[in-house]
């Protein structure tokens, strides 16, 4: 990798990750020293969830972005593809989260091109932790909080992996499911009930069953949380739903979600 007008040494070319390369070249942005502005109301994106099902892991997010009590946007994409088998779902400030996703995507790509191998699962998890720690200055001032979910498929173990984080960068692996954002308490309640008292646990659900559960959970959260969009029946806006399997990532189209919804949930 070469930046115009900047000599790149062998050490730079073999940097372990994209962020380190930028730091060595003096191009990595330093944490900004800003003071909290109480008049600034940042845009927030909620709610996201992930759970393991029979074929892999499902990641979903509603489409609403809010600023205080105002709805800023009802078609926000909160589930972002990082590589062929990895997704980052975002809850918090979209401007910060989307930039983290871009840096993470480039970091994985740089490692793959420079090391001729995929970054390990542990390396990917820690790379996102580092980005969250670098954002700590903004978090402490309440203007850039991000609490993401990272989901991937571990080819070596032939198993899906799901991780959730706090705003300071601590990462935790979820055994079965997780959710973050303002609507997450309702989502977790739905997932717990289905996993514990439903006809089958989450890990045995087929793709359509898992998708219907995700729609139910987000729609339930929207009933009590104004920041969660759920299913917008009037505008026909559906959550973003993506599936990760050993074959890669599949994005479910709005047409497929609409058919599932009308056939199973609309009259419920």
**Three-state DSSP class for 78?**
coil
pLDDT at 144 over 90: no
What is the structure's pLDDT at 68?
84
For the record, the structure tokens of 210 come out as 């898992």
Q: What is the mean pLDDT of residues 237-256?
A: 97
Least confident of 20-24, 83-87, 156-160, 164-168: 20-24
Summarised one tens digit per residue, pLDDT across range 80-95 is: 999 999 999 999 999 9
CA distances from 257 to 24, 76, 125, 151, 250 (A): 46, 17, 30, 21, 13
Is 46 considered catalytic here? yes
Out of 9-18, 99-108, 126-135, least confident range: 9-18
Predicted confidence band of residue 170 (pLDDT cuts 50, 70, 90)? very high
Q: For the chain, which domains are there?
A: 42-264 (3.60.20.10)
Average pLDDT over residues 167-179: 96
Do the beta carbons of residue 145 and residue 93 sit within 8 Å? yes
Enter the tokens of residue 22.
């930028």
Catalytic residue among 14, 38, 46, 245: 46
List pLDDT tens digits, range 181-229: 999 999 999 999 999 999 999 999 999 999 999 999 999 999 999 999 9
pLDDT value of residue 33: 55
Instruction: Say if residues 36 and 173 touch (Cβ distance below 8 Å).
Output: no
pLDDT of 161 > 90? The answer is yes
- Which carries the bigger pLDDT value, residue 2 or residue 239? 239
């Amino acid at each position: 990798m070469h930046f115009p007008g900047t000599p790149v040494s062998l050490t730079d070319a073999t940097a372990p990750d994209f962020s380190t390369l930028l730091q060595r070249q003096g191009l990595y942005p330093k944490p900004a020293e800003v003071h909290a502005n109480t008049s600034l109301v940042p845009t927030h994106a909620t709610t996201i969830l992930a759970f393991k099902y029979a074929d892999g892991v499902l990641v979903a997010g509603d489409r609403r972005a809010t600023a205080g009590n105002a709805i800023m946007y009802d078609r926000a994409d909160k589930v972002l593809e990082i590589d062929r088998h990895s997704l980052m779902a975002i809850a918090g400030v979209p401007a910060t989260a989307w930039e983290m996703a871009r840096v993470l995507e480039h970091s994985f790509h740089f490692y793959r091109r420079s090391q001729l191998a995929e970054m390990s699962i542990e390396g990917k998890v820690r790379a996102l932790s580092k980005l969250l720690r670098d954002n700590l200055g903004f978090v402490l001032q309440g203007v850039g909080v991000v609490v993401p979910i990272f989901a991937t498929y571990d080819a070596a173990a032939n198993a899906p992996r799901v991780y959730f984080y706090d705003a300071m960068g601590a990462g935790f692996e979820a055994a079965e499911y997780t959710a973050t954002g303002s609507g997450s308490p309702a989502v977790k309640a739905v997932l717990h009930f289905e996993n514990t008292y439903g006809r089958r646990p989450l890990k045995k659900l087929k793709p359509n069953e898992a998708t219907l559960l995700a729609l139910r959970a987000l729609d339930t959260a929207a009933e009590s949380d104004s920041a969660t969009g759920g299913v917008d029946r009037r505008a026909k806006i559906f959550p973003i739903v993506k599936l990760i399997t050993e074959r890669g990532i599949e994005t479910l189209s709005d047409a497929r979600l609409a058919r599932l919804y009308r056939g199973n949930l609309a009259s419920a």
